[in-house]
């Protein structure tokens, strides 16, 4: 069994898309402002934790 197939069974695709999207958002914001690179993805994660994903 390949590593990718094991990861895809362990992690939901929606969760993977959220993690990759937040990583890209953080990287893009770090090119502009380093504090924003931590604040914006953190705020999104807090929102997802409190309200969930619909």
Average pLDDT across the chain, whole number: 87
Map out the domains of the chain as residue ranges.
Answer: 12-51
Exposure letters 8-38 (e unless 16+ CB within 10 A, then b):
eeeeeeeeeebeeebeeebeebeeeeeeebe
**Per-residue pLDDT, 42:** 92
Q: How confident is the model at residue 27 (pLDDT cuts 50, 70, 90)?
A: very high
Question: Residue 52 pLDDT more than 90?
Answer: no
Instruction: Name the pTM for this structure.
Output: 0.73
Q: What is the pLDDT of residues 30-46, one digit of tens each?
A: 999 999 999 999 999 99
**Per-residue pLDDT, 38:** 93
Question: Residue 18 pLDDT more than 70?
Answer: yes
């Amino acid at each position: 069994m390949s590593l990718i197939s094991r990861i895809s069974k362990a992690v939901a695709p929606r969760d993977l898309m959220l993690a990759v999207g937040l990583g890209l958002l953080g990287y893009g914001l770090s090119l502009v402002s380093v504090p924003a690179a931590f604040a914006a993805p953190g705020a999104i994660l807090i929102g997802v934790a409190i309200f969930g994903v619909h």
